[in-house]
């Protein structure tokens, strides 16, 4: 099993339940969902001409469409070589659930890491029992993908980007359709816009949801 990797870096988790948690992020390449507000559009395409060695990828200081392909063993070796301090790993993208994540999460957990996946809910979630799954359900996106019942059922938390009342209505329909009342719900204002933030705060108070404000963007870290 190999994984196409766009980035591996250590930082703080800035969203959802693990906000403030020191984390190693594994950003995987490839996503056909097509969110208009996506802030990682450089991960959408897998161009075979842009495959590079992991050493070159780690040396890059800017966002790029380049990617490296690593096995689980190579990822494990890389973690040791980089001497990461964080013991929490966030697997994101792109759309990480395009991949079978069971081998990777199993290995990381066996080595003492906790794992988390951030997914759009449009692909089946294949991971370990202990992995924390954050579903950020992407409704009516350009790619035309539907939210899967399996992904919603597996979610530990829901993190819903919002900018308009329509986004709130979409979320309420999802919560009703998939019977996920037992899951923690976060609203995340799109692009830190004042109007979106005010809407999110209002909706959180009205519905007993929580606010996720992308702390990493406010404090200026990756």
Is 97 assigned to a binding site? no
**Is-contact 151 136, C-beta < 8 A?**
no
Is 61 assigned to a binding site? no
Is 136 assigned to a binding site? yes
Is 143 assigned to a binding site? no
Q: What is the pLDDT of residue 47?
A: 97
If the chain, 222 residues long, is cut into consecutive pieces of 10 residues, what is the mean pLDDT of each piece?
96 95 98 90 97 95 96 97 97 97 98 97 97 92 90 95 93 86 88 88 96 82 72
Q: Which domains does the chain have, with CATH numbers?
A: 2-160 (3.20.20.70)
Q: What is the pLDDT of residue 22?
A: 97
Condensed to tens digits (0 to 9), the pLDDT of residues 67-81 reads: 999 999 999 999 999
Q: In what order do the strands lie in the sheet with 157-162?
A: 68-71, 2-12, 22-28, 88-92, 114-119, 132-135, 157-162, 184-189, 210-211
Is 137 assigned to a binding site? yes
**Quick check: helix, strand or coil at residue 64?**
coil
Is 93 assigned to a binding site? no
Q: What is the pLDDT of residue 85?
A: 97
Is 35 assigned to a binding site? yes
Nearest alpha carbon to residue 89 among 135, 133, 26, 140: 26
Distance CA 58, CA 49 (A): 18
Condensed to tens digits (0 to 9), the pLDDT of residues 175-222 reads: 888 877 778 999 999 877 899 999 999 999 999 999 998 787 777 776
Is 39 assigned to a binding site? yes
Is 64 assigned to a binding site? no
């Amino acid at each position: 099993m190999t994984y196409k990797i766009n980035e591996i870096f250590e930082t703080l988790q800035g969203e959802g339940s693990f906000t403030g948690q020191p984390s190693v992020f594994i950003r995987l390449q490839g996503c056909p969902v097509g969110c208009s507000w996506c802030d990682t559009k450089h991960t959408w395409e897998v161009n075979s001409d842009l495959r590079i060695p992991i050493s070159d990828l780690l040396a890059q200081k800017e966002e790029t469409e380049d990617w490296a392909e690593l096995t689980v063993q190579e990822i494990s070796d890389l973690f040791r070589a980089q001497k990461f301090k964080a013991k929490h790993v966030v697997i994101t993208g792109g759309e990480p659930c395009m991949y079978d994540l069971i081998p990777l999460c199993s290995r990381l957990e066996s080595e003492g890491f906790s794992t988390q996946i951030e997914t759009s809910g449009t692909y089946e979630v294949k991971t370990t029992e202990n992995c924390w799954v954050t579903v950020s359900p992407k409704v009516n996106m350009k790619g035309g993908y539907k939210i899967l019942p399996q992904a919603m059922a597996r979610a530990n938390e829901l993190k819903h980007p919002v900018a308009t009342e329509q986004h709130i209505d979409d979320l309420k329909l999802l919560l009703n359709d998939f019977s996920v009342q037992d899951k923690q719900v976060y609203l995340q204002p799109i692009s830190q816009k004042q109007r979106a933030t005010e809407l999110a705060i209002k909706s959180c108070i009205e519905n007993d949801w929580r606010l996720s404000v992308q702390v990493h963007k406010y404090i200026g870290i990756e």
